[in-house]
Amino acid sequence: MDSTRRERATLALAVWGVLVSQVLLYPGVSDLVTALGGGQGEYDLSAGMLFLVAEFASFVAFSSVWGALSDALGRRTWLIVAGAVGGAASYVALLALATLPWLDATFGAVLAVRFVGGAMTIGAFSLSITMLADLSGGNGRNMGAAGIAIGLGAALGSVVGGQLTTIDPLAPLYASAASLTAVALLVTTVTDRTPDSTRVGVGVVLKKLAARPAFAVPYAFGFIDRMTAGFFALVGVYYFREVFGVSAAVAGGVLALFFVPFALLQYPLGSLSDRVGRFVPVVAGSMLYGVAIIAVGLAPVFELAAGLMVVVGVFGALVAPATMALVTDLAESGERGAALGGFNVFGSLGFLAGFLVGGVVADVVGYLPSFLVVGFAEVAIALVALRAVKRLDGIDATQTPSSAD
């Protein structure tokens, strides 16, 4: 194996390890939050929402900070190591908080640790993906490796996390700390390179949108698509556990029914969009994706709802790579990194919105209305942007900016 292939595999494993560490907590989040002194009962959705939002708000806030620090130091590898070690330490700190005798008064401290841990973990995650993008051998191959690592990491994390929760609600914290420690050790074997000087923050993204309004189309789809993923990570787990009475292990398996097809079909369905264009996968795929989400909320029995999660994963895999490909279609070669960075900024905001919107609606009104809100959001963006996607379909990077707007 040549050095580029070896480093691609190593960095993909690092991305995979970070996702495993994050998703391990999702299937048993209600049990974990209770064990850490949060919530008023086993299925207190608001406490689980705060627990996940604290980390993801930190992701959004600190993603560009790590990029800026990487630029200033001219290094990435040891920053990834520092982020992974810091993230592992945050899980150990949560375990320490769980031993305090005044546990009921520590949930604010738990949320603070989650925020700090998120600030560290996003460094390991975002810079690992950036180092993948730095490699030669083709952006498609490098980003494809990242996409598969993300999907399979989420799938394994959901299954193993659910199983561990049945042993001990705190067990996923040990596993998450171990996973990030392994990431830190693994990344030390990768050659450091001079970073690309392009940084992408919210300000940069807004300037890009002002100059190229056409980017608003895939960015909007990216926001809504990631919102649905955040929704299932929080509300989906609570829904299956409370409504159908399944264990954390079974809830983790249900999440995997979504993540596995979503991961494995990214490459073939992305290739399909190269052949048939972006319009059908993005517009028709989003409509079908939204309908499938609503169907999960309407399913009267567990077996049907779980089976529909596979359908949701398939349609999600149809939309996601085509939407990202639309970003690269619109971007000239010299701005693709910044354009994709903007897409990820909107995606991170969407994931956070999925926690907040889904969690609040489910907590205040009920689970079915939350499924309707998120599902119809997917259908609505497809209908609203239908003509815009049709107009942009087929544009490539050789066109001038004005011809794409």
The pLDDT value given to residue 134: 72
Res. 400 pLDDT band, cuts 50 70 90: very low
- Average pLDDT, rounded, for the chain: 85
Mean pLDDT, range 196-209, rounded to an integer: 57
CB atoms within 10 A of CB 303: 9
- Residue spans of alpha helices (H) in 232-301: 237-244, 248-264, 266-276, 279, 285-298
Nearest one of 343, 335, 342 to 397, comparing CA atoms: 335
Ordered structural domains, the chain, with CATH: 1-188 (1.20.1250.20), 202-395 (1.20.1250.20)
What torsion do the CA atoms of 316, 317, 323, 325 make, to the nearest 10 degrees? Answer: 170
Lowest mean pLDDT among 47-51, 82-86, 282-286, 345-349: 345-349
The pLDDT value given to residue 171: 96
Helix 45-73 × helix 107-134 angle, to 10°: 40
Give 282-326 pLDDT, tens digit per residue.
999 999 999 999 999 999 999 999 999 999 999 998 998 888 888
Lowest mean pLDDT among 272-276, 337-341, 367-371: 337-341
CB atoms within 10 A of CB 299: 18
- Give the gyration radius of the chain's Cα atoms: 20
The pLDDT value given to residue 337: 60
Q: Which residue has the higher pLDDT, 338 or 90?
A: 90
pTM for the structure as a whole = 0.84
The pLDDT value given to residue 399: 46
The pLDDT value given to residue 138: 56
